Amino acid sequence: MKSLKTLSCLLAIVSIQAALAQVLIAPETDVNSTDIPAKVESTTTESTNTISTLSLDTTDTTPIILNSVQALVDNNLEVDGAQYPFLLLPDQRIAARGAISCAKLGELLHPAQSRTLPSIVKMLAQVAPNVKEFWIDTGASDQLYITRCETLIINNGQATVKTGSCLRLLPALCSNQNTAGKVTVSTSLGFITGSRDKMGFNFQGIRYAKAPVGSLRFAAPVPITTSWLNALDATAPGNKCPQLGDNPGGHEDCLFLNVFTPKLNADDKSLLPVMFYLHGGSFTTGYGSDSAFNPANMASRGQVVVVSINYRLGLLGFLERVDADISRSTLPGNQGVRDMVVALQWVKKHIASFGGDPSKVTIFGESAGGHAVRTLLSMPAATKGLFRAAISQSDPITIPFNKVNTASKVSVADILDAKNIIVGQAINYDQLIAGKNGGIQKVPLMIGTMKDESIGFLPSMGQSTPMPPQVFGLMLGTMLGYQRSMVVIGSGLYPIDGSNPDGVREAEGSFGADYLWICPTQYLAKAYAATGAPVYQFQFQKGYNPNRSSDDICHGHVCHGDDVAIVFASPALMSDRTKYPWTTQDAGLSRMAIDRWTAFATTGSNPNPTANGGDSYPEWPKFDGNNQNIFVFDSTPSINSSGYRPQNCGFLDQYIKYDFQM
């Protein structure tokens, strides 16, 4: 009996010591929550321990709060290549508190095994290089985590497991098996509940502006400022904006954004870089939750927070004043661009709650999204402090956009009849371009193109089959007018290969790629570099286009949009192997691209990856007027140090000129 009393006293002293130790560290009061199981049981076959004494009440709907949590997975972007997922709780805790914190996420302390250790060590070296010891549980710990607990010790890149005292203050590693779990963050607007998986945490359908309906149709977006009482459900995408095209439909109440993050509620010193994506679609189609650019892999591998948005499209997004009697206050114009700015302002105010650093935002976009990036660069007054770097993919630079005085002369009947064409007439760049608001944003810029940008558009222009030679001249005349088209034909730079049955469309594609994308991109890069801002130029000579039939005009070409899958490695590509045969070569090219996109966002100025020693590919040098360096993405990457197609681009620069504004 006496020994039992002695044991009880010892346990009581240990419990008091544990409680006192917890007073010394930050309480669990300010980050995230999950759906809690009534009883936490083992979630992995590797674990031999169950927190059997811990019973959690699920009847209380108050969000359960944790301090910082970071999802890590060894992700090589191969099919089934995301392995050994775990959660890092970086704040220091005693072992019992670490186990309880894991349990709040429906997880256990991580059951680290020898086969998982190399990947765990590699990932921890990236995100916590100065921390040498972490709580884990391989089964030798006592079930109450009081007298005997296990830690993972990392020394010079080597991992060992040690059993010892449970009362030290260490970060904890949890399993990450509860992939159906939910998680709630606290923001200044209220609680927001999202989903989690082994890649991290995602919050979809977050409203960043009031619904642009009724009196707000065609009006500037009105930011959300009113907080809510109950947790906002952000586990599913919001409405897409009204559109035709491949995915018709949508709803005017569509101003939503999505956040994908591997980390929640970090302290100010450990917030992650933010990448803000603008989708393409000619300003008439597209939406931020498109599975083609689900950013879970980008966020996971690059340890960045990725935000994607909807913005108003077509007439609802870009209708300009059509007569002098409509005031700018009634119809401000550029509603879609204004939506982008308000979404960036939302990120500035709230992204820290999702683990993102509002001072380290990189904007990026493809096609119309790349064009939108250029637009935001041209609005220094409106976008000051909202981003620090920019990436533009396949911006159709020379596609003309008319000024207000042109668009304003179009009748309502013509506008309604013109549909998509009106967008090109409506974006009032005279209100946005350099000069109106003091020049451009001189932030570091990555900019580039695809090898065969324009050829895929020819079928939509009525050229779904090979064309006769005279069509080439007609196409040039439409684009350039008679005089300049004759100069192009006379140059001999775009000959029609008579031995190729499709030689006319090949020549059209070559000229279109040069004139609309490749050469003006280099021209703009030189002008931008002359301002003193760092510029990095790229070109994809390999993309992702596995399902094109032999009669598809893009078969054997690297067409517009073929970079999107490579840059994102969307999980949708890997979930249907019949439809999307994602190969080891595709994964390698994707690693090459994602590592450079996220390195650029992480540093704010340099796309060369340094995490885990970088890779074996060539160093990507800056682009300037003297050294026109281009990183060429291909199965074997290279650096083109003399610019791309210098003879053709030199000719277009000097004799044809371009019809675009900065």
Measured distance CA(196)–CA(183) in Å, rounded: 7
Give the number of other Cβ atoms within 10 Å of residue 4's Cβ: 8
Checking if the pLDDT of 542 tops 70, the result is yes
**Mean per-residue pLDDT for 515-544?**
95
Question: Which residue's structure tokens are 């067409």?
Answer: 559
Q: What is the CATH number of the domain that holds 461?
A: 3.40.50.1820
pLDDT tens by residue, 42-86: 233 233 222 222 222 233 344 555 679 999 999 999 998 999 999
Checking if the pLDDT of 421 tops 50, the result is no
DSSP state of 291: G
**Identity of the amino acid at 314:** G
Measured distance CA(139)–CA(297) in Å, rounded: 32
Domain count, the chain: 3
**Mean per-residue pLDDT for 98-114?**
92
Cβ pair 256, 240 in contact under 8 A: no
| Residues 137 and 186 reside in one and the same domain | no
In a domain, 170, yes or no: yes
Cβ pair 424, 399 in contact under 8 A: yes
DSSP state of 243: B
Q: Please provide the average confidence, as pLDDT, over all residues in the chain.
A: 85
| Residues 507 and 649 reside in one and the same domain | yes
- For 263, the token pair is 């980390």
pLDDT tens by residue, 163-202: 999 999 999 999 999 888 889 999 999 999 999 999 999 9
pLDDT tens by residue, 425-434: 444 444 444 4
Write down the pLDDT at residue 510: 97
Write down the pLDDT at residue 321: 67
Checking if the pLDDT of 4 tops 70, the result is no
Written as one string, the DSSP assignment of 447-502 is EEEETB-SGGGGGGGT-SS---THHHHHHHHHHH-HHHHHHHHHHTSS---TTSTT
Write down the pLDDT at residue 39: 25
Domain with 582, as residue range(s), is 444-662
Question: Which residue's structure tokens are 């019973």?
Answer: 55
DSSP state of 97: H
| Residues 221 and 330 reside in one and the same domain | yes
Measured distance CA(294)–CA(133) in Å, rounded: 34
Checking if the pLDDT of 313 tops 70, the result is yes
Measured distance CA(359)–CA(268) in Å, rounded: 11
| Residues 466 and 579 reside in one and the same domain | yes
**pLDDT confidence of 309, banded at 50, 70, 90?**
very high
**Identity of the amino acid at 246:** D
In a domain, 514, yes or no: yes
Closest CA to 536 of 368, 348, 408, 393: 393
**Mean per-residue pLDDT for 349-358?**
96
pLDDT tens by residue, 580-607: 899 999 999 999 999 999 999 999 999 9
* Residue that terminates a domain, selected from 416, 440, 464: 440
Write down the pLDDT at residue 431: 45
Measured distance CA(46)–CA(60) in Å, rounded: 31
Write down the pLDDT at residue 342: 98
| Residues 143 and 213 reside in one and the same domain | no
> Which of 2-11, 151-160, 336-345 has the lowest average pLDDT?
2-11
* Residue that terminates a domain, selected from 135, 150, 178: 178
**pLDDT confidence of 17, banded at 50, 70, 90?**
very low
| Residues 191 and 279 reside in one and the same domain | yes
| Residues 107 and 215 reside in one and the same domain | no
**Mean per-residue pLDDT for 526-552?**
93
**Mean per-residue pLDDT for 399-410?**
44
Question: Which residue's structure tokens are 């989690």?
Answer: 196
**pLDDT confidence of 325, banded at 50, 70, 90?**
low
**Mean per-residue pLDDT for 525-529?**
94
Write down the pLDDT at residue 580: 86
Measured distance CA(432)–CA(404) in Å, rounded: 11
| Residues 257 and 118 reside in one and the same domain | no
DSSP state of 223: B
How would you classify the pairing of strands 149-155 and 133-136?
Answer: antiparallel
* Residue that terminates a domain, selected from 118, 152, 178: 178
| Residues 477 and 424 reside in one and the same domain | no
